[in-house]
Structure 1
Amino acid sequence: MKVLFCYRYGVIGGVSTQLLNRYTHFSAEFEIGVLYESDHGMVAHFPPGVARVTATDEAREAAIRDAAPDVVVVIDSPGFLTAWQRAGSPGSLILEVHTTTANLSYLGELAVEPDHIVTVSEYMRAKLGALGLSPISVVPNCLDERWYADTVPPTLETTPVAWIGKLDGHKRWRAAADLLDRIAAAQPGVTPLLVGGYTAPVSEVEALTTKLATSRALGSARWLPRVDYDLMPGLYSAIAANGGLTVSTTTDESFGMSVAEALVRECPVIAPAVGALPEILPEEALYPPGDWADAANRARRALTDSGFRAALLSTAPLVRERTHTEYALAAFANVLQRSAKSSKVA
């Protein structure tokens, strides 16, 4: 069976990384193809010929037609929906929804009716159901084998407290910088670490570097605009092994992939009680949205209280089970059965 995934951005992180995580197990069962509108380093992570860039409407239409897919999965990318129609609407259409932002508005303007809708959490199932969409199935995000490989973390002379995300309003990087500033000022020996921003606008990069240069507590901070995905499991392990943790300042999350990644690598997380995060984090890890003093207090406690650190990791076994690739594969196979249009997909 040919399954074609279509998404806007081939950027490390988020949906693109999720497609890469799925690939190994999914490709053992299905013939997988991936189309992007633009590439920022992800295409090369797939085997040759699996992923490609379709930068224009015409290229997207031609690529879908040439692929002759049995199933087309369009992920938060309306441009691929019109291309699928112009290509003759081949195969079953599955609409996969990850976004929680204003980008959801496209769902109220659909010119096509998908055979099925997929999302990544019970939170998102309820959110989409409230919009009158159906049928909806949950296929959780997954992590591939590299996340379970043993590493030997280096011993550092400092304790990292990390924030990982895009330099945008949704992830609230400015609030994150202020939070790291507060933690570092109150806790000697902490090195703030910000990871992300490789594709950020120049204005956001300038704002971040100005913040780092003008804050005394952030003077020792490190900013890594991009970390190769293969190195991310080791990064989380190094943070954890040196007594550190990660903090999140997001406004909403459909699943919370960076949170799940941290937990799988035994790295404690402090995060706001928003979106799907309460589905994967214990109560101890969750602060009221916008309560930065509470967030800082939890983070400082995680740096000094071993019992509290253990409590923060209490849901790690659940997250490992839920994010296992075989779990996602079984859920996706069930979706294909439900959305089948012909015996080819049955």
Structure 2
Amino acid sequence: MHKVLYVYKWATMGGVERVLLNRALAFKASNFDVAQDVFFLHDSGGKKLLNRYIEEKSLGRYLKIVEDFIPEKYDTIHPIDTPEIFKMVKNYEKILFECHTAYAENRQYLAELPMNIKGLIVPSKKFKSDILQELPLRLREKIFVFRNFIPESMFEVDEINSEKLNKIPITYIGRIDKLKNVEESVEIFNLLQKKLGDKFLLIVAGPLTSEVDLFKLVEKKGILNRFIYLPPIAFDKIPKLLKQVKENNGVVISSSKGESFGLSVAEAIVYGIPVIASHIHSHLVNDNRMFLYQLNDIEEAVNKIEYILNNRYNCMQELTTLKKDLTDNAFLQDWSELY
């Protein structure tokens, strides 16, 4: 049995915890002989939620939170965006450092990573190319990709009844900040309404930040009565929202300026919902231009949405093809090649 210790700064039940739970679900589904522990430097309220999910999904064999830091017990140590690890251990040779943040200011530590670590793990090939120049020269040959993914088992919730909407939902899921570029998604929705008529509803779900005054923006565009804001949704509740979007023939939108992977877009594809995404998501759709637009080109985005709505059958066929690279098998292949 391979024993892995993840080390992460904060237990928040955010994206990193999602990655760890997804890996545990994949290992369980394929009966891998892997034990994953995670040690958090600080609890920001996420430990209780994470433990609850581990229990509900019977994942204790594959993932558990530990309260004591005992690195000697493990075959490899995976710090995730936590350079503090280098003050906590003396032996760097079994450290596989994971970088998941798309925020350049939060990964400045990359330039100072020790040369003798085992390697660096990133969640997509595109992200690998994005950060290559930020790494010390001798580490550039020790980058491994553990493709992020969406477990199909996450969507085994088809019994959920979803509300019938009288508008087509255009749905954004993610942080409300400058990097995620939600302002452009609002602009796209506004032009869509003007071009195709009052047929649409804008749904925005995610944590608010001080960077974007979402409600002021929506009010300024005059679409407040065609707008629903949802606070951050627990990831095991995401399928309920996606089911509603799918059953109302909706589209998931992402105008992000930077992603290490692009979770909300990947979730939509795996669930079978058409997406319209900025070109930085090209790795998720195999560069399929049907689903991509150039950042700042609002008209192109609107035209793509119009095409998707008028050619839904073709879109669904394309999504089925794309889905296979975003589920468990891709990650398990990457894991097996390294371990």
TM category, shorter: 0.7 to 0.9
Corresponding residue for residue 170 of structure 2: 161
Aligned to 1:127: 130
> Which amino acid is the alignment partner of residue 70 of structure 1?
D
Output the CA distance in 2 between the equivalents of 1:171 and 1:251: 6
**CA drift at 1:326:** 3.9
1:195 and 1:67 mapped to 2: Cα distance?
A: 42
Deviation at 1:177, TM superposition (A): 2.4
- Corresponding residue number in structure 1 for 2:4: 3
**Contact 1:81–1:112 under 8 Å retained in 2:** no
Instruction: Report if the CA contact (8 A) 2:272-2:320 is conserved.
Output: no
Within the alignment, does 1:150 sit opposite 2:155 as a pair? no
Equivalent residues of 1:155, 1:242 under 8 A apart: yes
Does the 8 A contact of 2:282 with 2:292 survive in 1? no
Q: Counterpart of 1:140 in structure 2: which amino acid?
A: R
Structure 2: unaligned runs, 5 residues or longer: none
Matched with 2:19 is 18
2:168–2:200 Cα contact (<8 Å) kept: yes
Contact 2:76 2:96 (C-alpha < 8 Å) held by counterparts: yes
Q: CA RMSD in A?
A: 2.8
Distance 2:201 2:72 in 1: 49
Q: Distance in 2 between matches of 1:120 and 1:72?
A: 17
What secondary structure is seen at the aligned counterpart in 2 of 1:260? helix
- Are positions 1:195 and 2:196 aligned together? no
SS in 1 for 2:252: strand
Distance 1:227 1:277, change over 3 A: same
CA contact (8 A) 1:70 1:90 kept: no
For 2:38, the aligned partner's letter is: V
Partner of 1:172: 181
Give yes or no for contact 1:72–1:93 (8 Å, CA) kept in 2: yes
Q: CA deviation at 1:328?
A: 1.4
Note the C-alpha offset of 1:259: 0.9
Q: Match for 1:23: what amino acid? A: A
* Deviation readout 1:107-144 (Å, 9 max, x if unpaired): 11114632022222221233344443222222211222
The alpha-carbon deviation at position 243 of structure 1 amounts to: 1.7
Are residue 31 (structure 1) and residue 40 (structure 2) matched? no
1:17 counterpart SS class: helix
> How big is the shift at 1:68?
2.5
Alignment-mate amino acid for residue 289 of structure 1: L
Aligned 8 A contact 2:5 2:77 in 1:
yes
Residue of structure 1 in register with 2:237 after alignment: 231
Cα distance in 2, alignment partners of residues 218 and 280 from structure 1: 35
Query: Which has the higher mean CA deviation after the structures are superposed, 28-37 or 138-147?
Result: 28-37
Tell me the number of residue pairs that the alignment of Structure 1 and Structure 2 aligns. 318
- Change in 2 beyond 3 A, CA 1:294/1:283: same
Asked whether 1:76 is paired with 2:72, we answer: no
Could you list the runs of 5+ residues in structure 1 that have no partner in the other structure? 55-62, 337-346
CA distance change for structure 1 residues 270 and 18 in 2, over 3 Å: closer, same or farther?
same
Q: Is the 8 A contact 2:274 2:319 kept in 1?
A: no
For 2:23 and 2:321, locate their aligned partners in 1 and report how far apart those are by CA, in whole Å: 19
2 CA distance for matches of 1:298 and 1:274?
Answer: 16
Percent identity over the alignment is 24
> Alignment partner of 1:274: what SS?
helix
CA contact (8 A) 2:93 2:118 kept: no
- Report the counterpart of residue 221 of structure 2 in structure 1: 215
Match of 2:251 in 1: 245
Deviations 1:159-192 (A, max 9, x none): 1111111011110122222322332344312110
Which residue in 2 is equivalent to 1:284?
A: 290
Of 138, 143, 148, the match for 2:145: 138
The secondary structure found in structure 1 opposite 2:272 is coil
Q: How do 1:20-59 and structure 2 match up within 5 A?
A: 20-26=21-27, 28-36=32-40, 37-41=42-46, 42-47=49-54, 50-52=63-65
Q: Structure 1 CA distance, aligned partners of 2:287 and 2:245?
A: 18
Check 1:100–1:47 CA distance in 2 against 1; reply closer, same or farther (3 A cut): closer
Contact 1:2 1:69 in 2 (8 A): yes
Structure 2 residue 306 is the aligned partner of structure 1 residue 296 = no
